Amino acid sequence: MTLTDDQIAWLQRNKSMSGAGSGASSAPASAPVAAGAPSSLTSPPAISAPVAKAQAGSAPVSAPISAPAGAPASAPTSAPASTPASAPTSKPASAPASAPTSAPATSKPATSAPAKGHTFKFPVPVPGKKTFPVWNKQIEIEIAFSLSISVTASIDDQCAVQKAAIKKALDWHVANEAPVLDSGTIFSNLKLDVSKTQIAVTSHTSTSIGNFSLTLTLVGLSKGISLEGLKLGLKVATLNVVWSPVTINLQPETVEGISLTDIQIEPGGQITIAPNYQQIVLNWAKKEAEEQLAKEGGEKAGEVVATTISFDAIMAGALGAVAVGTVFGVVDMFVKKAKLDNIKAILYPALTSLNQGVQDGLANQKVSGGSGEMYDQGWNLGQQAWKQAAAQMSQQADLPPPDQMQAELHDAAVKAMSHWSAWHDIDQHMRDTFFDRWVDENHGYTTFAGDVQDAISAIYGIPNEPEDGPHIKKWAAVSKLPKFMTGKKD
């Protein structure tokens, strides 16, 4: 057999290393050790199979699994020893180890389980507050919604999932939450419990979006709850309105091209009851309590103690005593100083402020929000009436002190103003005074019938007064224009 140059070199190298006795540490790390060979010797180069590089201590990829224990790891079982090294059946011996035909068994990745999805939870921006009717649409509540949604999605793109989830939550809100609240049936079953010291008003409503409860405690303006005391009225002691929402579970759905499962919506919100509920509920509670007390005690609900004079009568009588001439004097002074550039913008606010001032002064509380010169003048006039009313109330033994009857006094003042016959005269006097001043300053050659019509419309609200109307005639009587231009007749 003819040896190749590599084989000759190997024989010489091992011969010298075996004589030295310490050459094992210098053996190349890339040369595999044949099974059963001394560790101090390196394996000869393969004759019929390529040598593949391997990490120290690991079996070469090309080593056949059927090699006998005494044979070199690189020698194939099927190749005769005399097979020339120059005729390899596969890649040359210099082929890099980085291109094995298959990966070692220890490096195969484990088979991964299918993805279970990603869970997200988002707050849902429900815009603004909204008002809903309750108690058979007699009063209103305002809700500032809080809404959140949690979902499971097969993708982990948070932005895309959030967009789809919020769309789903808002669609649900419009289709399910709002209709329940808009129905007007919440708190439709108010119940009354009358005791000797207070009246408890309660209501409980169960809906698909949760439970709503209302608890209202009323007390009388006089001591205890009785038929006589109810004539003086009631006031609210405590109020509690609660929405206890439930979690909503929805079916899986594909939204915006994204599959959503485990969909849960958590509704909720802060409830505020409209301020006007007090008088509405108080009137109802008073009537219900009177009927209940009358039935239980055998008394007539309409009985009134003879010495008790209603707030309305006291207030109306005091206001009627105010000298209307004094009010006219206030109006005259105001109109005299007013500018006439835009009468409508001055006249109507002045009337409103005067009315508010009288009303607040009569009730002895500034609650209307009015202000300005005419409000102050009205307040002073109302205070004159209030002093008379307060003196009359102090003579009624059954009436509590005025500071304990603020709501009742205000209501009585509003009613007194609405029935005050002198107010029509005051209103008319202010309008007439404005028109008289306008005519006094606008009856020359540059003022025509159209200008007068505009002034009449602004002051009296009459769009087209006839030529023989009282205001047209008043202007025509002093106009310097020719008669045919004013409609004035001899």
Q: What is the per-residue pLDDT for 172?
A: 92
CB 250 within 8 A of CB 267: no
Question: Which residue would you say has higher pLDDT here, 29 or 156?
Answer: 156
> Does residue 184 lie in a domain region?
yes
Each residue's pLDDT tens digit, 408-436: 778 888 888 888 878 888 899 999 999 99
Whether residues 147 and 289 share a domain: the answer is yes
Buried-exposed string 321-339: b where 16+ CB fall within 10 A, e elsewhere: ebebeebbebbeebbeeee
Binned at pLDDT 50, 70 and 90, residue 138 comes out as confident
101 has pLDDT over 50: no
Last residue of a domain, one of 397, 426, 455: 426
How many structural domains does the chain have?
A: 4
The top-scoring range by mean pLDDT among 75-79, 121-125, 399-403 is 121-125
Q: What is the per-residue pLDDT for 21?
A: 44
Q: What is the per-residue pLDDT for 363?
A: 87
Each residue's pLDDT tens digit, 381-407: 889 888 888 887 776 655 666 666 777
Query: 75-89, 123-137, 306-320 — which is least confidently predicted?
Result: 75-89
Q: What is the per-residue pLDDT for 342?
A: 83
> Does residue 302 lie in a domain region?
no
Whether residues 149 and 247 share a domain: the answer is yes
> Does residue 23 lie in a domain region?
no
> Does residue 437 lie in a domain region?
no
CB 316 within 8 A of CB 392: no
191 has pLDDT over 90: no
Question: Which residue would you say has higher pLDDT here, 343 or 234?
Answer: 343
Binned at pLDDT 50, 70 and 90, residue 226 comes out as low
Q: What is the per-residue pLDDT for 185?
A: 81
> Exposed/middle/buried for 3, CB within 10 Å: 0-12, 13-18, 19+?
exposed
The top-scoring range by mean pLDDT among 33-47, 69-83, 85-99, 342-356 is 342-356
Q: Average pLDDT for residues 433-450, to the nearest whole number?
A: 86
Q: What is the per-residue pLDDT for 309?
A: 47
> Does residue 105 lie in a domain region?
no
Residues 6+ apart with CB under 8 A from 478: 439, 443
Whether residues 268 and 246 share a domain: the answer is yes
484 has pLDDT over 70: no
Whether residues 247 and 315 share a domain: the answer is no
Q: What is the per-residue pLDDT for 128?
A: 72
Domain that holds residue 289: 118-297
Whether residues 221 and 353 share a domain: the answer is no
HSE-up of 396 (CA within 13 Å, CB side)?
21
Query: 90-99, 171-180, 255-264, 299-308 — which is least confidently predicted?
Result: 299-308
Whether residues 420 and 449 share a domain: the answer is no
Q: What is the per-residue pLDDT for 3?
A: 67
Whether residues 280 and 131 share a domain: the answer is yes
270 has pLDDT over 60: yes
Whether residues 387 and 446 share a domain: the answer is no
As a whole number of angstroms, the distance between CA 442 and CA 444 comes to 6
* Phi, psi dihedral angles at 213 (to 5 degrees): -135, 145
Q: What is the per-residue pLDDT for 486?
A: 63
Q: Average pLDDT for residues 194-209, to the nearest whole number?
A: 82
**CA distances (Å), 111 to each of 64, 108, 114, in order?**
27, 9, 10
Q: What is the per-residue pLDDT for 242?
A: 84
> Does residue 324 lie in a domain region?
yes
Whether residues 142 and 10 share a domain: the answer is no
Last residue of a domain, one of 232, 265, 297: 297
Residue type, 485: M
Q: Average pLDDT for residues 88-103, to the nearest whole number?
A: 44
Q: What is the per-residue pLDDT for 48?
A: 42
CB 354 within 8 A of CB 413: no
Binned at pLDDT 50, 70 and 90, residue 1 comes out as low
Query: 96-110, 181-195, 350-364 — which is least confidently predicted?
Result: 96-110
153 has pLDDT over 80: yes
Whether residues 291 and 150 share a domain: the answer is yes
> Does residue 264 lie in a domain region?
yes
> Does residue 130 lie in a domain region?
yes
CB 177 within 8 A of CB 299: no
Q: What is the per-residue pLDDT for 41?
A: 42
Whether residues 124 and 195 share a domain: the answer is yes
Mean pLDDT of the chain: 73
Whether residues 290 and 381 share a domain: the answer is no
